[in-house]
Homo-oligomer: A and B are copies of this chain.
């Protein structure tokens, strides 16, 4: 049995449009409605035939839905929820895909005090954005984390979990606070560092930006992929997971300072020991199917 029959997607960018495509592929009888605040995205959604009905108003998209998924930047989630509150059916379940869960839970509860809310975070994405960037298999073999409130009905949580499993994801449940610490280290801090180093590299005087680009195959290019991610989404992530990000950043800065000291004093053993330890982490990630085992990411070395 399908977990939901009428799904409304609010926000039709990379994630929203991938959910729509995934539903079409794995749950073809589901009636899909959608809305995006940007008229150009709505027009693209019509052209791409992402959903059965693209509504000009969020209320019109959700009025008959049994699942509403907010796929907007976390800073816009409270406003997006408020805009559809009056039209939300009493038995609809509301979810989202935001990368920070404590603030999102707060914003959703404030905007929709009577709704059944099961926040979700599919840990998947690419550096592209917009409705054209989505694809149906984005969530396959990826994790989707649910952070239901402590008093959530287990049957409701299970329906949302089943929805994500149908899209190909494996589901985990945790508290929003724990989610935010885990993601601060596995996602938010890496993005912040990547953005930062790409900024540093383009501001140098002694080395030109064209040299940085030319010789990027030495390692730098790996950072630029995630530093090409959507600016609005990521600004919001850092502003809404402030505490956990600052905590992880503090630890990282300490560790980096101790490497700096080892380099300054020529302490090769400190460097060698760390570099040996980090190799094992990579091995585990590849073994668990969370990254591509092909060397150098299978990048082409031939024309």
Instruction: Please indicate the chain B residues that have their CB under 8 angstroms from the CB of A192 in the complex.
Output: 256, 259, 263
- The distance from the CB of A184 to the nearest CB of chain B, in whole angstroms, is 8
- Chain A residues numbered 142-173 whose CB sits less than 8 Å from any CB in chain B: 142-143, 145, 168, 172
- In contact, A264 and B284 (Cβ under 8 angstroms): no
Sorting the interface of chain A by its residue count into under 10, 10 to 19, 20 to 34 or 35 or more gives: 35 or more
Give A256 to B253 CA distance when docked, in angstroms: 9
A57 at interface, CB cutoff 8 A: no
- The distance from the CB of A69 to the nearest CB of chain B, in whole angstroms, is 19
- Asked, given contacts A200-B251, A232-B272, A256-B249, whether A213 binds B292 with beta carbons under 8 Å apart, the answer is no
A303 at interface, CB cutoff 8 A: yes
- Asked, given contacts A143-B217, A226-B222, A238-B263, whether A212 binds B199 with beta carbons under 8 Å apart, the answer is no
- In contact, B207 and A255 (Cβ under 8 angstroms): no
Instruction: Please indicate the chain B residues that have their CB under 8 angstroms from the CB of A220 in the complex.
Output: 185-187, 190
Instruction: Please indicate the chain B residues that have their CB under 8 angstroms from the CB of A183 in the complex.
Output: 215, 218
Instruction: Please indicate the chain B residues that have their CB under 8 angstroms from the CB of A182 in the complex.
Output: 207, 211-212, 215
- In contact, B193 and A228 (Cβ under 8 angstroms): no
- In contact, A227 and B279 (Cβ under 8 angstroms): yes
- Asked, given contacts A213-B281, A219-B186, whether A302 binds B137 with beta carbons under 8 Å apart, the answer is yes
Give A229 to B189 CA distance when docked, in angstroms: 21
